[in-house]
């Protein structure tokens, strides 16, 4: 099976712009989670989608949003970018149950200038 894929791999934006990141989970996986990784804060949970519904949300401002499509692919959007949004954004997928292993994609490196 193909692994979790994320596009694009690298992005450079300027403050105030918005950005959309995409994640394709492993075939058959219905849960997609997003994480932000920065040197200062480590890995922080953004949100999780399951069957097109947001199941869980982390402590991030409303500028961060996401959605999931019927084929389980997910997108996250960040509006009004700030310098502090520069990070590695990771997507993870898992089949269904809470006891499942989570598999991560390679990430999207976002740089905000």
Partner 1 sequence: KQEVTQIPAALSVPEGENLVLNCSFTDSAIYNLQWFRQDPGKGLTSLLLIQSSQREQTSGRLNASLDKSSGRSTLYIAASQPGDSATYLCAVRAEETSGSRLTFGEGTQLTVNP
Choice between 13 and 109, CB closer to partner 1: 109
Binder of partner 1 out of 2, 62, 70, 99 (CB under 8 A): 99
Instruction: Take residue 67 and report the two structure tokens written for it.
Output: 């959605």
Instruction: Take residue 76 and report the two structure tokens written for it.
Output: 């996250």
Q: How far is the CB of 16 from partner 1 (least distance, A)?
A: 26
Instruction: Take residue 112 and report the two structure tokens written for it.
Output: 């905000």
Is-contact 89 36, C-beta < 8 A? yes
Q: How far is the CB of 86 from partner 1 (least distance, A)?
A: 14
Dmax (CA) for the chain in angstroms is 40
Q: How far is the CB of 102 from partner 1 (least distance, A)?
A: 6
List b or e across 65-103, with b for residues whose CB sees 16 or more CB atoms inside 10 angstroms: bbebeeebebbbebeebeeebbbebbbbbbeeeeeeeeb
110 counts as binding partner 1 under rule CB under 8 A: no
106 counts as binding partner 1 under rule CB under 8 A: yes
56 counts as binding partner 1 under rule CB under 8 A: yes
70 counts as binding partner 1 under rule CB under 8 A: no
Instruction: Take residue 78 and report the two structure tokens written for it.
Output: 């960040």
Task: Provide the binding-site residues for partner 1, judged by CB under 8 A.
Answer: 4, 6, 31, 33, 35, 42-43, 45, 48, 50, 55-56, 58, 88, 90, 92, 94, 98-107, 109
């Amino acid at each position: 099976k193909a692994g979790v894929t994320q596009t694009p791999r690298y992005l450079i934006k300027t403050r105030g712009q918005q950005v959309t990141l995409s994640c394709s989970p492993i075939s058959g996986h219905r849960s997609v989670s997003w994480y932000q990784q920065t040197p200062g804060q480590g890995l922080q949970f953004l949100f999780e989608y399951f069957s097109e519904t947001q199941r869980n949300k982390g402590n991030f401002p409303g500028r961060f949003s996401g959605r999931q499509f019927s084929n389980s692919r997910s997108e996250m959007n960040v509006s009004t970018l700030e310098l502090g949004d520069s990070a590695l954004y990771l997507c993870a997928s898992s089949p269904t149950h809470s006891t499942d292993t989570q598999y991560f994609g390679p990430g999207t490196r976002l740089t905000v200038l």
